[in-house]
Amino acid sequence: MASMATTKRSNLYEWFKTITFYEILVGMKATLSHLLHYRPVTVQYPHEKRTLPDNYRGMLALLRYDDGTEKCVGCDLCEAACPSRVIRVVSAEVPGEPTKRYSKEYYMDMTRCLFCGMCVDACPVDALGMTREFEWAVYDKRQLHLNKQQLLAIGDRSFPVREKRLELQHPNVAFFNVAFKHVPPKPD
C-alpha cells in the first residue's frame, strides 16, 4: 500500500513536472546562463592565430648550412621512406668532387603529402625540416608541386638560424659531407 502511495505521489510529481515544462526550463536556464556568462571559445582565425606547438608538422622544407650550402646529399632515403611517394630526388655527383653527391633536382608533390614526417626522420644529414606553415591553400593544384628552389626558399624563411657546417658531424655518414682537403686531422 505504501509503495503504491509513493508511486502515486511520484507519478503526480512527474505529471507536475510535465505540465510545467520543467525539463525544458532547465535547458532554457542552461542556455541563458551561457548567454549571461559569455565566454566564447572562438579564435578569430585570420586576425588572431593560435600558437602552434614546437613539434608541429607543417610544410616541408629543405635546409642549408650557415655558409649557404645545401645540406641535401642526394641519398634518396627520404624518397624511400615516403609512404605516399611525394618526393622525387635526382641525385648527381658534385662536379669536380667525385666523392660528393648532391640532389640535382628535388621535387615534392604536396597534394599527396600526409605530413607524417618520416622523410625528416629518414634524412641522415637533417636536410629536411617541417615548418609551422600551414596556410597553403592555392587556386591551382599545380602550385603545390614544389621544386628544389621553392623548398629551399621555404626553409630559408622558416629556419633563419642555420646549423653550422661541421665536417664529420655525423659519424655514420661523414663520408657524404667530407671535403677531404680541409679536414683537420683527428685528434688521437
Yes or no: say if 154 and 177 are a contact pair by the CB < 8 Å rule.
Answer: no
The set of cell numbers assigned to 12 is 503526480
Q: Which is nearer to other proteins, 42 or 172 (CB)?
A: 42
Cβ 41 to other proteins shortest distance, Å: 5
Stretch that binds other proteins, among 40-48, 57-65, 91-99, 115-123 (CB under 8 A): 40-48
Stretch that binds other proteins, among 20-28, 96-104, 120-128, 155-163 (CB under 8 A): 20-28
Is 38 a binder of other proteins (CB under 8 A)?
yes
Lookup result for grid cell 572562438: 42
Number of CB atoms found within 10 A of residue 106's CB = 26
Is 51 a binder of other proteins (CB under 8 A)?
no
Stretch that binds other proteins, among 36-44, 66-74, 81-89, 178-186 (CB under 8 A): 36-44
Is 24 a binder of other proteins (CB under 8 A)?
yes
Is 92 a binder of other proteins (CB under 8 A)?
no
Q: Which is nearer to other proteins, 15 or 56 (CB)?
A: 15
Is 90 a binder of other proteins (CB under 8 A)?
no
Stretch that binds other proteins, among 22-30, 72-80, 105-113, 128-136 (CB under 8 A): 22-30
Q: Which is nearer to other proteins, 3 or 31 (CB)?
A: 31
- Where along the sequence are the contacts to other proteins (CB under 8 A)? 24, 27-28, 30-32, 34-35, 38-42, 44
